[in-house]
Amino acid sequence: MRKLLSLAALLAVWETAARLSPVPRQLFPPFTNVLVALWSLLLSGQLLENYLITLARTVSGFILGAGLGVLIGLALVYRKLAYETLYPVVTLLYAIPAVAWIPLFMIWVGLNEALPISVVFMCSFAPMVYITLTGARKVEDDVIKVARTLGANDLKIVTTILFPQALPSILSGLKVEAGMAWRSCFVAEMVAMSSGLGFIAMEAESILRVDIILAVILVLAISNYLFQELFEKIEVSILRRWGISK
C-alpha cells in the first residue's frame, strides 16, 4: 500500500509541476500527456511489436549469459588452478560496463539481431561468473577433501556442496542482472538498431516528442519492476524448497 501511495504522490507532483511550470509542455509534458502518448502507441500496434522484440532480445541474451556464467563459475571454483588463473580475468570483465562493448560488437557482429543479444550476454555473463565464484568460494577446502574421502565424485561435489552454497548469491545476482539486461538492451537499440523500445525512443527524440520518450521509459521501468518481482518470488520459493533462509 505504501508503494502505491508513494507512486501516486510522485505522479501527482509530476502532473502539477508540469502544468504550473513555465517550461513548454512539449519539453516537460504532464503525466496525463504521457499516458495519451502511451495509449496512441498501443492503438497503433507500434508499442506491442517493438516491446516483444526487446523482450525477446533481453530474455535470449540473459538466459545465455547468466546460464553459462553460473556453469563456468562453478567449474572455476572447483578447479583451483583454473580459479587462480582466470579469476583476475573474470574480475576485469566484471568491471567493464556492458554498454562499453557496443562499439566492438557493432564491428564484430554487425547491425543485426546478434548485436543487442551479445550486449545483454556480456551484461549477464561476467557478473554471474563473478557472483557464483564469490558464493561458492565460501566452501572450505577441507569440506571438499572430506567429501572426496567419502567417495563423492566431481559431479556430486558440485551439485551437493558448491551449488547449494552459491545458490543464495546466484539467485540474488540473477534478480539484479535481470534489470541490467533490460537497460543494456535498451541502450544497444538506441545506438544501433532500427527496432525495439530503444529505437522508438531515439525516433521520438528526432522529432522532439518528449511525451513518447517518457512513455517508453515508463514501459521500460514497469517491465524492469515486474522482472524484479518475478525473480524475488522465484528466489524465495527456491530457497524455501532447499531449506535455506534468506
Which CATH fold would you assign to the domain 47-241? MetI-like fold (1.10.3720)
DSSP string for residues in 45-88: THHHHHHHHHHHHHHHHHHHHHHHHHHHHHHHHHSHHHHHHHHH
pTM for the model: 0.86
Candidate ranges 16-30, 91-105, 115-129, 230-244; pick with highest mean pLDDT: 115-129
Distance CA 125, CA 89 (A): 13
Which three cell numbers, joined as nine digits, stand for 211?
511525451
Give me the amino acid identity at 63: I
Instruction: Calculate the CA 47 to chain-centre distance.
Output: 21
* pLDDT tens digits for range 136-182: 776 666 566 666 676 667 677 777 777 777 788 888 889 888 889 99
> How many percent of the chain have pLDDT more than 90?
44
Contact (Cβ atoms closer than 8 angstroms) between residue 95 and residue 33: no
